[in-house]
Chain A
Amino acid sequence: MDQRDKEAIREIVGEDHFSDELIDLVSYSYDSSDHDHRPDCAAYPADSEQISRIMQLANERGFAVVPRGAGTSLAGSAVPINGGLVLDMVRMNRILDIRIPDRQVVVQPGVVYAALQKALAPSGFCFPPDPASGKVCTLGGNVATNAGGIRGAKYGVTRDYVLALEVVLPDGRIMHTGTKCMKSASGLDLTRMFVGSEGVLGVITEITLKINPMPTASRTALASFETLRQAGQAVTDIMHSGILPSVLEIMEENTIRVLRENYGADLPDVAALLLVETDGYTDAEAEYGMQKVVAAFAANQAKTVSQAKDRAEAEKLWAIRRAAGSVAGGLRPNNLSEDVTVPISKVPDLLEGIQKLMEGHKYPFVIFGHAGDGNLHPKIMFDGSDPEQVKEVHQIAEQMFKLTCGLGGTLTGEHGIGLAKAPYMRLEHEEMAMEMMRLLKRTLDPNNVLNPGKMALDD
């Protein structure tokens, strides 16, 4: 990019909403992944019209444009790997409409997830996908990465809630997809094409989401098991029992040990823990679900079962689970945190497979995750200042991806491909599917200006 390009962008967004100051360029070089690259400048657009003009300019002048929400991507999706312009969507942060009778909200992409929840709470409604970064991540980012969360087992992921979008296409045209109706069988599903597209197909500028009434009752229990297989069978039995738990989390022995030794958690020395929540709109409904869960625990020789008597006790159990990632992360300066996902019944196979992979390696690791939807978070701790360790840990990751795909799984349940997993796309996707993705990208973005370098679409 040259001064002429920067001047043209300044003219579009206004002087106060443009920056090429070093502090901003450094900040926009990173997201929450281990990747980084300097952009040339950043702009804070106010509306889709400005973004449209910027995209036209990018095509004329040949610079890259990278849309960005809160920059919490764990896969490098927001890193401007080819430089260019970062579009920080922070100013487009208005909740445009809350339509309770239609069970819908219309938001701009820069609205923070938690801000939407706060706005919906007085009506007793919520937007159910529950990403761990919810207090900072933006809804535009949620849609662009098809964000999931801890309640995916019952409530699904962002994709299940997106009804309509306004998108600025890479060439600057503004397109509206989808419908404001709760159901529609009309035409190809363009909306879903953009959900999880990581900003490579268009800049999302307006989102219509389905919302749900917030469950008002819940039950929480923690069970421990002597073997992984028992815990795995308990998950299977719960799935057979005719209920859908709202949360079904698993933690394996390394996680348990780290929580006991480094967090002071009062946990037994076992192979696995299951933390389960059932919910509903009446106590009886939540209780019915929990009875089924406890029966599955008993049928699989759970060593201990603790049921929270009230919210405060439930919160104590949740605090243990929430601490797992950061407590383990503190063991070494760096960590590799993945989100490999398999069919629910294969969770024990994946857990055992990863444990076996780690045998003979010196790195501390933990595995926890969402057993209720098959999404695990293996976390390997290492020292990133040692190139040998970086190399070795990435080799382990590759083996883990092969193992996952071999079990019929996917590279990523919720973090996205970005830069981090781009080299492994072919492990999961056949060549024809890869070519179809590249064809879509080339058709919409022939000059490859929008978030280039991601998802192995440039190869």
Chain B
Amino acid sequence: MTSEKHPLLEKFTEQIQHCTRCGFCQAHCPVFGATGRPALNARGKMLLLKEVLAGKLELNQELVDSLFQCTTCASCATNCPSGVDVPAIIKAARQEMVGLGTCHPAFSGMNQVLDDYDNIYAEDEPEDFDRERGKQAEVVYFIGCVGQYREEDATEAALDLLDHLEVDYTLIDEVCCSGVLEDVGFSIKPALAEKNIERILATGAKTLVTGCPYCYRTFNGKEIYAPLREAGLEILHFSQFLARQDLGVSTDLKVTYHDPCDLGRHCGIYEEPRKTIKALAPNFVEMPSNHANALCCGAGGGVRGAYAKNSLAMARKRLAEVEEVGADILLTECNSCVHNLANAKLRAQKFQVMTTAQFIMELLED
């Protein structure tokens, strides 16, 4: 059933055929959960691609609202009885579509922005957070676009915490890692990667700590960032770094934790964030869906930008679980999750949404 028209997609022919259409992914897909529309579920997407490979359908604009509406949260793949790697297939399909000139405008816009700017928001002036940049230090703290331009308070808290812990760190004149472009059909920008690599290595740091789980994935996994790893740099997400620290604060508040997809399902980092949180909050409670089964916040895969209404609906489903367990505080370790969850929170929902660093700084200041 190969059409030999779509080489990137055809690599996954066998995987796509292995989808038995059982539909079990509907129980886990956040997009289906928010919309109730099976065409947007993983099975719906696999059916489209099966027909594309069979030559019954064209990879054209009519398929965009399904194939580009996926947060790549990987909960379908985690729970698929047939072991279909849906996120990898979706990425390949998007790359094929972009190659054919078919794309959601939000994603082509994102790619264009990173041709013209150093960050995903097309902002001219980065916040400097009153910290020195590019100095010699043991640790480089890499903020990421969301922390730099949208969740400045979260970043401020992370940096204050590093100061409090007397960590020898520096910021750099960072640019977007551009890893997310691969998720939405494009490629990492070599020019941006080179700048980051050069500036990180110039500090002589031994450890690179990222505030953003996606940057962590990119630096750790992408070929273009191999020079960082070859230089012997230890690459950590901030939650892993924090798990090694003695924080010396505690709270009686009921605290829960949202697993960011990029940290949890994509990197297997579940326990380090919990280690930190449980140490400071004995009254820790898990939400009904947690660890590998955690609901997605709805922000990933470019969905927040392209399908804002559904993205917020997904976040609201997640927040309903916070209410269900009666937590006072929802912590997470991803600025993008914080951003979407905080935006979606209703006034009537009295709990607070923040990063672990923000919460620790609040406790320290009290």
Measuring CB to CB, which residues of chain A are less than 8 angstroms from any residue of chain B? 21-24, 26-33, 44, 70-72, 88, 90-91, 93, 112, 114, 133, 135-136, 325-326, 329-330, 333-335, 384-385
A36, closest chain B residue (CB): B47
Contact partner of B47 (CB less than 8 A), chosen from A29, A70, A384, is A29
A24 near B37: Cβ-Cβ < 8 Å = yes
- Interface pairs (24), CB distance under 8 Å: A21-B62, A22-B57, A22-B63, A23-B65, A23-B66, A24-B38, A26-B39, A26-B44, A26-B48, A27-B37, A27-B38, A27-B47, A28-B38, A30-B21, A112-B27, A136-B23, A136-B24, A326-B20, A326-B82, A329-B18, A329-B20, A330-B18, A333-B14, A384-B17
A333 near B18: Cβ-Cβ < 8 Å = yes
In the assembled complex, the CB of A93 is this many whole angstroms from the nearest CB of chain B, namely: 8
B82 near A24: Cβ-Cβ < 8 Å = no
Interface residues contributed by chain B, number (CB under 8 Å): 30
Contact partner of B36 (CB less than 8 A), chosen from A91, A135, A334, is A91
Main SS of chain B's interface residues?
A: helix
Interface positions, chain B 43-95, Cβ under 8 Å from A, are 43-44, 47-48, 51, 57, 62-63, 65-66, 81-83
Q: Which residues of chain A are near B65, meaning CB under 8 Å?
A: 21, 23
B66, closest chain A residue (CB): A23
- Residue B348 is within 8 A (CB to CB) of chain A in the complex: no
- Binary per-residue interface labels of chain B (176-191) against chain A in the complex, 1 for a CB within 8 Å, 0 otherwise: 0000000000000000
A26 near B82: Cβ-Cβ < 8 Å = no
B23 near A71: Cβ-Cβ < 8 Å = yes
- Residue B1 is within 8 A (CB to CB) of chain A in the complex: yes
User: For the complex, what is the distance from the CA of A333 to the CA of B21, rounded to whole Å?
Assistant: 12
Extra contacts, 8 of them, besides A24-B37, A30-B47 (Cβ < 8 A), are A21-B65, A22-B63, A23-B66, A26-B44, A71-B23, A136-B24, A330-B18, A335-B20
Contact partner of B22 (CB less than 8 A), chosen from A21, A23, A32, is A32
B21 near A27: Cβ-Cβ < 8 Å = no
Q: Which residues of chain A are near B358, meaning CB under 8 Å?
A: none
How many inter-chain contacts with C-beta < 8 Å in the A-B complex?
A: 84
B48 near A23: Cβ-Cβ < 8 Å = yes
B39 near A135: Cβ-Cβ < 8 Å = no
Q: Which residues of chain B are near A333, meaning CB under 8 Å?
A: 14, 17-18
User: For the complex, what is the distance from the CA of A339 to the CA of B14, rounded to whole Å?
Assistant: 26
Measuring CB to CB, which residues of chain B are less than 8 angstroms from any residue of chain A? 1, 14, 17-18, 20-24, 26-27, 36-41, 43-44, 47-48, 51, 57, 62-63, 65-66, 81-83
User: For the complex, what is the distance from the CA of A112 to the CA of B40, rounded to whole Å?
Assistant: 18
B69, closest chain A residue (CB): A23
Question: What are the nearest 10 A-B pairs in CB distance?
Answer: A326-B81, A27-B39, A135-B27, A90-B36, A23-B39, A27-B44, A23-B66, A333-B17, A22-B62, A136-B26
User: For the complex, what is the distance from the CA of A28 to the CA of B48, rounded to whole Å?
Assistant: 11
Q: Which residues of chain A are near B66, meaning CB under 8 Å?
A: 23
User: For the complex, what is the distance from the CA of A24 to the CA of B1, rounded to whole Å?
Assistant: 22
User: For the complex, what is the distance from the CA of A440 to the CA of B62, rounded to whole Å?
Assistant: 42
User: For the complex, what is the distance from the CA of A34 to the CA of B46, rounded to whole Å?
Assistant: 14
A71 near B36: Cβ-Cβ < 8 Å = no
B37 near A330: Cβ-Cβ < 8 Å = no
Given contacts A24-B37, A26-B47, contact A133 B83 (CB under 8 A): no
Given contacts A32-B23, A72-B22, contact A23 B62 (CB under 8 A): yes
Q: Which residues of chain A are near B20, meaning CB under 8 Å?
A: 32, 326, 329, 335
A133 near B62: Cβ-Cβ < 8 Å = no
Q: Which residues of chain A are near B36, meaning CB under 8 Å?
A: 44, 88, 90-91, 93
Contact partner of A72 (CB less than 8 A), chosen from B23, B39, B47, B63, is B23
In the assembled complex, the CB of A334 is this many whole angstroms from the nearest CB of chain B, namely: 8
Q: Which residues of chain B are near A334, meaning CB under 8 Å?
A: 17
